[in-house]
Amino acid sequence: MEQRFVGKPGLKVSELCLGTMTFARESDEATSHAMLDHFVGAGSTLPPFIDTADVYSTGASEATMGRWLSSQQRDDLVIATKVRFPVGEKPNDVGLSRKNILAGVEASLKRLQAKQNGGE
């Protein structure tokens, strides 16, 4: 499996990444979880690389992943999520302002059921 570096810090990831845009839209939760299980089970020398975004199914894709992640070894995975596109009606619910990025990260972590603030 080929490797790529993400960003300047040099996080190594697999060249193969599972996209979750269709989760909670074109595939139900059981099917989405089965796809994640199959992807992770396919094996690699690198942690499995999974892509999502707050805009995928208006956050439902991340929530589907969060329920799956609750029974996984998170340290064995690389999860990438994104912000930028509109997720609400307010003027600051879109774009790459500091406010929108921080709000988007906080909301994504909650949907992904990630522990925040040092594990609290």
Three-state SS for the chain is CCEEEECCCCEEEECCEEECCCECCCECHHHHHHHHHHHHHCCCCCCCEEECCCCHHHHHHHHHHHHHHCCCCHHHCEEECCCCCCCCCCCCCCCCCHHHHHHHHHHHHHHCCCCCCCCC
Is 56 annotated as catalytic? yes
**CB-CB contact of 54 with 84 (8 Å):** no
Q: Which of 32, 56, 69, 79 is catalytic?
A: 56
Q: Answer yes or no: are the C-beta atoms of 45 and 11 closer than 8 Å.
A: no
Q: Active-site residues: which are they? A: 56
